[in-house]
Amino acid sequence: MAEGAQFTRTEAGERYDVFHTDCPARDMVDHVTSRWGIWVLISLRSNDLRFYELRESIHGISEKMLAQTLRALVQDDLVWRKVEPTTPPQVTYGLTEFGREVSEPLTELFDRITLRLSSPSTE
């Protein structure tokens, strides 16, 4: 295999080699599965939220980490950002269509986990 071949798409539907360290998909997966990325995506599943609403909905996240996480998710086109020209500016975040698609299995995963934890063990 030629060097850099993981970036070449020879046929429609062919995917990148995600196990290769230079695969561009790895950065996005890192952002989605980061400590805070998952919580931001799940928090935005039901409603668009302003920055402070997101911060209050995700217990334990600092403003700095929320800002960094949102910046990465916006850059990956998972989250959109809208700034209202007020004083101070009102910034609202929501999921893009792609963000909805990516967060759906995450929501299902957490639904299964919380259901499992709330059910008595059968073992």
User: Measured in whole angstroms, how far is the alpha carbon of residue 96 from the centre of its chain?
Assistant: 10
Percent of the chain with pLDDT over 70: 85
43-47, 58-62, 91-95, 103-107, range with the lowest pLDDT: 103-107
Is pLDDT at 1 greater than 50 in this prediction?
no
What number of other Cβ atoms are within 10 A of residue 40's Cβ?
Answer: 28
21-25, 49-53, 90-94, range with the lowest pLDDT: 21-25
Is pLDDT at 63 greater than 80 in this prediction?
yes
Q: What is the pLDDT of residue 40?
A: 96
Over residues 23-36, the mean pLDDT reads 81
Rounded to whole angstroms, the Cα distance separating 36 from 31 reads 8
